[in-house]
Amino acid sequence: MKKIIKTEKLPIKLWADEIEPKTLSQAKNLANFPYAFHHIAIMPDAHEGYGMPIGGVLAAKKVIIPHAVGVDIGCGVCALKSSIKKIGTSTLKKIMGDIRKIIPLGFKKHAAGQDEALMPKIKNLKINCVKKEWDNACKSLGTLGGGNHFIEIQKDSHGYIWIMVHCGSRNLGLKVANYYNKIAIALNKKTGFEEQIKQELAFLFVDSKEGQAYLDEMKFCVDFALANRKLIIERIKKAFEKNIKEKIDWSDFINIAHNYAKEEPHFGAQVFVHRKGATSAKKGQLGIVPGSQGSKSFIVKGLGNKESFESCSHGAGRIMGRKEAIRKLDLKKEINKLDQLGVIHAIRGKKDLDEASGAYKNILTVMENQRDLVEVIEELSPLAVIKG
């Protein structure tokens, strides 16, 4: 931990060397939120988000906040290790080409719905969002999405090849987030929580029918996002097996989500921990901290630090907004940086600079700042990347 800010109702505990003013303002709003519990934890990758900083951890009593979960509910990262060590550039390019053919990117989705057996079970969900969006969700299963979502082929310190995927619940999570945030705003207006509405922290009481419905649909989105990553991984494995003659053995699947809320015990109370752009890092728990395009990623083991609500960062974290990166970064320099590393990358033109490494914090600094949150057990270097 780098610093504790004690000027607000609750302390703000920082794992970052610096925090930009808008992010700090959002952290202070959380510290003064009427149902916030014990303290606010801000991870080393923190930056401004809707209502709550991305890279923030909030424990709350009695309430759930849609914008403290985020709009891409259940977004996360998964990784698995292969038994192969050698992969030539031409083979790698063929694999990447096949991946692009079978996994829709950006706003694209499948023309037909995927096997419904791969979808999470609906159980007792009411007809609010999930059931209405079911057909669209089936077509979105096994798709990457856009923004900072990626597929990356990597090599570990022993030379083994890995697959890593970062994606979420696609449009389904957005629909659920927006639907329940509007309900929260309407309810908060009736009960005098205008300040929380202005701060984009409208909330639902957990024991209300609206709160229970949100929790059910949020959980479905978390499960859907995991199913999405699993299907993408299975199809990437097929692209590998098509282009590599030797038999490939694959390790167990590592998965970690970073946009969700969950009831957990902390500091003697049952609270709903909102992790927005932060991941669980319970003692001994395997996790993943990806870097930016062209930088290292890390397989980690949680240390169970109580002060962070047993959490850690979800990645490097932005230092520039998307439009700012496109405006300020030098295209040739960003391409040369990746070319010199030998990475098959996704930067082709000016518009791709929103996901250039120059738009992100230094992942090594981020990892150094959370040495008390996680232990690094493997470093992964990028070989090739596909961006959404």
Nearby residues of 182 by Cβ (< 8 Å), 6 or more positions away: none
Alpha carbons 173 and 225: distance in angstroms, whole number: 9
Nearby residues of 67 by Cβ (< 8 Å), 6 or more positions away: 49, 50, 51, 52, 177, 181, 200, 201, 202
**177, 70 contact by CB (below 8 A):** yes
Helix (H) or strand (E) holding 46: strand 36-47
From the list 39, 166, 274, 314, the catalytic residue is: 314
Catalytic site residue 314?
A: yes
Calculate the alpha carbon distances from 116 to 98, 120, 130, 218 in Å.
24, 8, 14, 19
Residue whose token pair is 């927006």: 178
CB-based burial of residue 265 (10 Å sphere; 0-12 exposed, 13-18 middle, 19+ buried)? exposed
Give the residue numbers marked as catalytic: 314
